[in-house]
């Protein structure tokens, strides 16, 4: 019985594919209420219905965790701490938290519900390819992220000390540094002195190179995944 359940959840059979499509539709349906601020009855019913399905799916995956993790009885203790299981649990809890009227309007609940989109990683082959590309290239990717984080902090410290009148807090400097690194440039915060503008120009030029690095790594990993398929 558990083997059949596991094959339904993780297999490649036609039945498993149908289940994946149904779950994809349910996940997308659960995101619909986030497009509206109104608290309508139909949205409440949809929320409870989708959450009930998510709970059943979570329980089924936990019940068959030993087949997935291949670590015997320890699999049942380890499964709740796997990345996707944490995502599943985090997206289920807001429904129960919202039962308290005082917490129902908290924006953090809407944010946690939006994380349900990450559940699509299980049922989309393209998403799985991207996920596998991240996993295989995570070493290089982490190096680039560390480089970018260091660059952001260094630029923030420099601009904070040079443009103290413009950037009243270090967080503002970090925010500006991230915006400059990604070459977005919202324009809400900007340097006004000549030294500050020179720093901004250098930051933008270097930012183009740093932003291009992770894009190239992900693209290379994704192409490898598509070639292997």
Calculate the CA dihedral of residues 72, 74, 75, 78 and round it to 10 degrees: -160
User: Helix (H) and strand (E) counts for the chain?
Assistant: 11, 0
pLDDT at 3: 86
Instruction: Give the HSE-up count for residue 130: Cα atoms under 13 Å, Cβ half-sphere.
Output: 10
Cβ-in-10-Å burial (0-12, 13-18, 19+) of 204 comes to: middle
Q: Quote the pLDDT of residue 103.
A: 62
pLDDT of residue 127: 64
Task: Phi first, then psi: give them for residue 68, nearest 5 degrees.
Answer: -80, -45
Would you state the pLDDT for residue 128?
64
**Tens digit of pLDDT at every position of the chain (229 positions):** 888 888 888 887 888 888 988 999 999 999 888 888 777 889 889 989 999 999 999 999 999 998 888 888 899 999 999 988 998 998 888 888 777 666 655 667 777 788 888 887 777 666 666 667 777 777 777 888 888 888 889 888 998 988 878 888 899 889 988 888 777 777 788 888 888 888 888 888 887 777 777 777 777 777 776 666 5
């Amino acid at each position: 019985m558990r083997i059949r359940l596991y094959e339904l959840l993780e297999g490649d059979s036609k039945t498993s594919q149908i289940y994946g499509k149904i779950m994809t539709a349910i996940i997308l349906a659960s995101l619909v209420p986030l497009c509206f601020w109104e608290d309508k009855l139909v949205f409440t019913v949809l929320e409870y219905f989708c959450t009930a399905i998510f709970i059943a799916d979570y329980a089924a995956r936990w019940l068959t965790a030993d087949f997935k993790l291949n670590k015997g009885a320890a699999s049942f203790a380890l499964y709740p701490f796997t990345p996707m299981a944490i995502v599943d649990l985090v997206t289920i809890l807001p429904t129960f938290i919202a039962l308290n009227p005082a917490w129902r309007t908290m924006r953090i609940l809407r944010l946690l519900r939006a994380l349900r989109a990450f559940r699509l990683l299980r049922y989309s082959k393209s998403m799985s390819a991207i996920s596998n590309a991240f996993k295989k290239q995570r070493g290089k990717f982490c190096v680039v992220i560390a480089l970018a984080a260091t660059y952001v902090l260094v630029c923030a410290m420099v601009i904070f000390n040079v443009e103290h009148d413009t950037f009243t807090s270090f967080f503002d400097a970090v925010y500006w540094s991230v915006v400059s690194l990604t070459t977005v440039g919202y324009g809400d915060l900007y340097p006004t002195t000549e030294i500050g503008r020179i720093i901004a120009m250098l930051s933008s030029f270097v930012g183009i190179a740093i932003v291009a690095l992770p894009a190239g790594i992900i693209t290379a990993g994704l192409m490898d995944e598509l070639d292997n398929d």
